């Protein structure tokens, strides 16, 4: 391989013992968490603050990091029309792939029939169990969601950490700075240096990932038990199999057409996938993914726009779950659906899915929003899924993460800004999350 290509790829750190590698530590933490939650459920439930605390630490850094990355990316562009072009391409790609994910969930649900034989009477279920989710779903209408993108103040967006609000003020700020000429260049450099500070903080926080994964997994198993997996095993197995099918076939085909292997890509982001598996939230690795995609050869401007936007508009795992779970509930409650009704669910889900985010449990809220619009399926039947949603959330988050990573590479290539040599070199010589973040941001 050409020496100039390898020079652009981060050098692996000196060989570390296996127990010092972050992904190994996370794997061990997940296994220990499962054991503690299973054999000592009360102790497992008490571990919840460890998982919540780690997620909170990461989330507190996401808003300033996205702001700095997007602002610097836009401010550094000489052609502002490029921002709009990237935005249009990104939304077109997201809509196409998301619709395919929704359709796949519907198709598999119809063929596999995971809810058959349950014969559940919705009237016997307690509607209070899902009342909170139903209330949130009704409040999150399309108009309300669009209006919520506008923050009450500039700093309010950064304080609340709402991704779409942060993206809005970041894009506006980037355009403004780019129009300032020489003074704008100085501001852009200062913002880039601030981003380096935030990446340094993330580098410190990520060392606590095993603790967070342990706490989250111990709580999940302690609170819901392995028995909940057995009771609704057909749905869980069908969902995981469908998500795997989507990643390997759909995203795998897209990746192959874009010049890379989906399996090598998964290997490249294995550390991030394990952290997501432990915490059930794709937000915990958002900063890592942005930096890793840059080092994979995607341009900084594309990464800054695609990754944050994808966390609200390109949730493939959530889309599969929504249509598959909707059909499961219809089958479990013996609610017949015509082809027209199923297509109607698909259209409704195309809208409601855009309100989801990478936060744990958001997929359940968007499912409630979908059922609130579909009167045929009793909304109280959602209670069936409460006990296993945490396990489903892990698969949703994993699929969402892979989908957004692939989208970043595809859009970057579509823009003609993908360094193909760097892409293959980076995949051939992957580094761990800790080593990745120790390098200076590109």
pLDDT above 70: percentage of residues in the chain: 81
Rounded Cα distance between 242 and 262, Å, is: 16
Looking at residue 141, its pLDDT comes to 57
Mean pLDDT of 306-315: 83
Domain boundaries, the chain: 3-438
Outline where 40-162 has alpha helix (H).
Answer: 41-46, 48-75, 81-112, 131-139, 142-148, 154-160
Rounded Cα distance between 360 and 163, Å, is: 14
Rounded Cα distance between 28 and 45, Å, is: 19
Give which of 311, 296, 288, 321 is closest to 393, Cα–Cα: 321
List, for residues 19-45, the tens digit of each pLDDT value.
Answer: 677 778 888 988 898 899 889 989 988
Q: At 139, is the pLDDT very low, low, confident or very high (cuts 50, 70, 90)? A: low
Instruction: Output the furthest CA–CA distance in the chain (Å, rounded).
Output: 69
Q: Note the pTM of the prediction, 2 decimals.
A: 0.76
Does pLDDT of 363 surpass 70? no
Looking at residue 241, its pLDDT comes to 95
What does the chain come to in residues?
A: 442
The residue that leads in pLDDT, 147 or 32, is 32
Q: Taken in order 77, 81, 84, 85, is the CA torsion positive or negative?
A: negative
Task: Just give the CATH number of 3-438.
Answer: 1.10.3860.10
Let me know: does 353 contact 366? Beta carbons within 8 Å: yes
**What is the 8-class DSSP label of residue 441?**
P
List, for residues 107-125, the tens digit of each pLDDT value.
Answer: 999 998 888 777 777 665 5
List, for residues 34-91, the tens digit of each pLDDT value.
Answer: 899 889 989 988 998 998 888 888 888 888 888 888 888 788 776 667 778 888 898 8
- The pair of structure tokens assigned to 120 is 């559940």
Mean pLDDT of 353-374: 63
Mean pLDDT of 191-220: 86
Outline where 270-388 has alpha helix (H).
Answer: 270-279, 286-295, 300-313, 316-332, 339-352, 362-373
Looking at residue 221, its pLDDT comes to 84
Looking at residue 320, its pLDDT comes to 92
The residue that leads in pLDDT, 354 or 292, is 292
Instruction: Give the 3-state secondary structure of residue 117.
Output: coil
CA atoms within 13 A on the CB side of 442: 22
Looking at residue 101, its pLDDT comes to 93
Looking at residue 238, its pLDDT comes to 92
Rounded Cα distance between 410 and 304, Å, is: 14
Mean pLDDT of 343-358: 70
Looking at residue 300, its pLDDT comes to 82
What's the distance, Cα to Cα, between the start and end of the chain in Å?
22
Rounded Cα distance between 251 and 257, Å, is: 10
List, for residues 394-433, the tens digit of each pLDDT value.
Answer: 898 899 999 999 999 999 998 888 888 888 888 877 655 5
Q: At 247, is the pLDDT very low, low, confident or very high (cuts 50, 70, 90)? A: very high
Q: At 438, is the pLDDT very low, low, confident or very high (cuts 50, 70, 90)? A: very low
In whole numbers, what is the pLDDT of the chain averaged over residues?
A: 80
Mean pLDDT of 293-314: 85
Looking at residue 359, its pLDDT comes to 47
Give which of 76, 78, 85 is closest to 301, Cα–Cα: 76
Let me know: does 415 contact 302? Beta carbons within 8 Å: yes
């Amino acid at each position: 391989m050409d020496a100039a290509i390898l020079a652009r790829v981060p050098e692996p750190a000196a060989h570390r013992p296996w127990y010092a590698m972050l992904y190994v530590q996370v794997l061990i933490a997940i296994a220990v968490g499962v054991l503690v939650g299973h054999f000592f459920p009360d102790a497992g439930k008490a571990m919840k603050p460890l998982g919540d605390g780690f997620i909170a630490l990461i989330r507190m850094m996401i808003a300033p990091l996205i702001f700095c990355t997007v602002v610097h990316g836009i401010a550094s562009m000489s052609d502002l029309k490029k921002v709009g072009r990237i935005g249009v391409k990104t939304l077109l790609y997201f809509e196409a792939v998301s619709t395919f994910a929704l359709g796949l969930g519907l198709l598999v649900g119809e063929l596999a029939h995971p809810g058959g034989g349950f014969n559940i009477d919705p009237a016997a279920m307690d509607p209070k169990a899902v009342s909170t989710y139903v209330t949130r779903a009704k409040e999150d209408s399309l108009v309300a969601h669009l209006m919520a993108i506008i923050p009450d103040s500039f700093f309010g967006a950064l304080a609340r950490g709402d991704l779409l609000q942060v993206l809005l003020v970041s894009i506006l700020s980037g355009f403004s700075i780019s129009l300032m000429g020489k003074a704008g260049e100085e501001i852009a450099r200062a913002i880039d240096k601030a981003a380096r500070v935030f990446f340094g903080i993330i580098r410190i926080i990520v060392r606590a990932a095993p603790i967070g994964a342990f706490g989250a997994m111990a709580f999940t198993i302690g609170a819901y038990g392995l028995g909940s997996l057995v009771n609704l095993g057909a749905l869980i197995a069908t969902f995981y199999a469908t998500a795997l099918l989507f990643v390997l076939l759909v995203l795998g085909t897209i990746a192959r057409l874009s010049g890379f292997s989906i399996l090598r890509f998964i290997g490249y982001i294995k550390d991030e996938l394990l952290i997501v598996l432990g915490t059930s939230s794709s937000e915990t690795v958002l900063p890592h993914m942005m930096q890793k995609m840059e080092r994979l050869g995607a341009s900084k401007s594309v990464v800054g726009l695609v990754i944050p936007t994808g966390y609200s508009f390109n949730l493939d795992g959530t889309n599969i779950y929504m249509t598959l779970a909707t059909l499961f509930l219809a089958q479990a409650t013996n609610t017949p659906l015509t082809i027209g009704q199923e297509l109607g669910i698909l259209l409704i889900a195309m809208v409601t899915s855009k309100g989801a985010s990478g936060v744990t449990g958001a997929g359940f809220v968007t499912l409630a929003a979908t059922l609130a619009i579909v009167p045929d399926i009793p909304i109280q039947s959602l209670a069936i899924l409460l006990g296993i949603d945490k396990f489903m959330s892990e698969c949703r988050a994993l699929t969402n993460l892979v989908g957004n990573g692939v989208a970043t590479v595809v859009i970057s290539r579509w823009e003609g800004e993908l360094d193909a040599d760097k892409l293959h070199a980076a995949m051939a010589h992957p580094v761990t999350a800790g080593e990745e973040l120790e390098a200076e941001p590109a």
